[in-house]
């Protein structure tokens, strides 16, 4: 890695918590200078502008969130349990994330009437996460672990939406209770309505 590339990554890493906490509009040049210890020219030599830096910072923050949420998921053999593991990770693995809550929620909310490049990143992030969960469900249907009436896309959106909404409330109330409650609700739903009762393949 060249020195320029190292500095570029350093700037992204240092600015990611700012954008995730204060938002795109709320992050000022002086915030960025303070966080990186660099002057304006030292920062923007590496990026075409604030938008490029913010989109890379989003990708960095989102990457950390995804890797935490998917940690150990692929190793779980049963597909319903795999979905439950992802839910558990979302609820419990709050450490190791970039401060400021879920980058997808933060960016989606700020950019839905605003910056098109950031909105596109958030949309793509949501799409990728949805596809990952859908694939688990599709595999589960194929293996007869998941009821064949279940729509993989709808189930993915239900899980993602419920988790994000519970996180919103948990953060506003400074309490993990809404997150723990949604985990329990989704677990019961997965066991009662999603898991197939024919388990010929297990």
The contact set with a copy of itself (CB under 8 A) reads: 21-23, 25-26, 99-101, 105-106, 108-110, 112-114, 119, 122-123, 126, 154, 157-158, 160-166, 168-169, 171-173, 177-178, 181-182, 185, 188-189, 193
Backbone angles phi, psi at 16, to 5 degrees: -55, -45
Which CB atom, from 73 or from 111, has the smaller least distance to a copy of itself?
A: 111
At its nearest, how many Å lie between a copy of itself and the CB of residue 122?
6
At its nearest, how many Å lie between a copy of itself and the CB of residue 171?
5
At its nearest, how many Å lie between a copy of itself and the CB of residue 40?
20
At its nearest, how many Å lie between a copy of itself and the CB of residue 13?
18
The span from the CA of 27 to the CA of 18, in Å, is: 6
How far is CA 98 from each of CA 12, 37, 138, rounded to the nearest angstrom?
12, 19, 31
Residue 185 corresponds to which tokens in the numbers above?
């609700």
Residue 32 corresponds to which tokens in the numbers above?
């960025």
How far is CA 16 from each of CA 46, 97, 105, 127, rounded to the nearest angstrom?
15, 11, 15, 21
Which CB atom, from 52 or from 151, has the smaller least distance to a copy of itself?
A: 151
In the Cβ-directed half-sphere of 18, how many Cα atoms lie within 13 Å?
Answer: 24
Look at residue 140 and give its three-state secondary structure: helix
Which CB atom, from 73 or from 126, has the smaller least distance to a copy of itself?
A: 126
Which CB atom, from 42 or from 161, has the smaller least distance to a copy of itself?
A: 161
Backbone angles phi, psi at 39, to 5 degrees: -80, 170
At its nearest, how many Å lie between a copy of itself and the CB of residue 12?
19
Backbone angles phi, psi at 146, to 5 degrees: -120, 135
At its nearest, how many Å lie between a copy of itself and the CB of residue 54?
13
Which CB atom, from 19 or from 60, has the smaller least distance to a copy of itself?
A: 19
Which CB atom, from 46 or from 111, has the smaller least distance to a copy of itself?
A: 111
């Amino acid at each position: 890695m060249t020195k320029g590339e190292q500095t570029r990554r350093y700037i992204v890493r240092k600015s990611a918590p700012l954008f995730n906490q204060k938002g795109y509009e709320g992050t000022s040049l002086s915030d960025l200078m303070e966080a990186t210890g660099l002057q304006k020219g030292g920062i923007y030599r590496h990026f075409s502008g604030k938008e490029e830096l913010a989109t890379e910072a989003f990708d960095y923050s989102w990457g950390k969130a995804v890797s935490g949420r998917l940690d150990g998921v692929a190793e779980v053999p049963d597909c319903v349990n795999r979905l439950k593991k992802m839910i558990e990770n979302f609820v419990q693995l709050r450490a190791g994330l970039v401060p400021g809550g879920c980058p997808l929620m933060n960016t989606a909310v700020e950019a839905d009437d605003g910056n098109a490049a950031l909105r596109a990143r958030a949309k793509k992030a949501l799409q990728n996460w949805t596809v990952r969960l859908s694939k688990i469900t599709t595999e589960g249907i194929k293996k007869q672990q998941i009821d064949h009436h279940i729509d993989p896309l709808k189930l993915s959106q239900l899980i993602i939406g419920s988790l994000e909404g519970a996180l919103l409330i948990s953060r506003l109330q400074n309490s993990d209770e809404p997150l723990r409650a949604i985990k329990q609700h989704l677990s019961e739903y997965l066991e009662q309505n999603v898991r197939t009762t024919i388990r010929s393949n297990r």
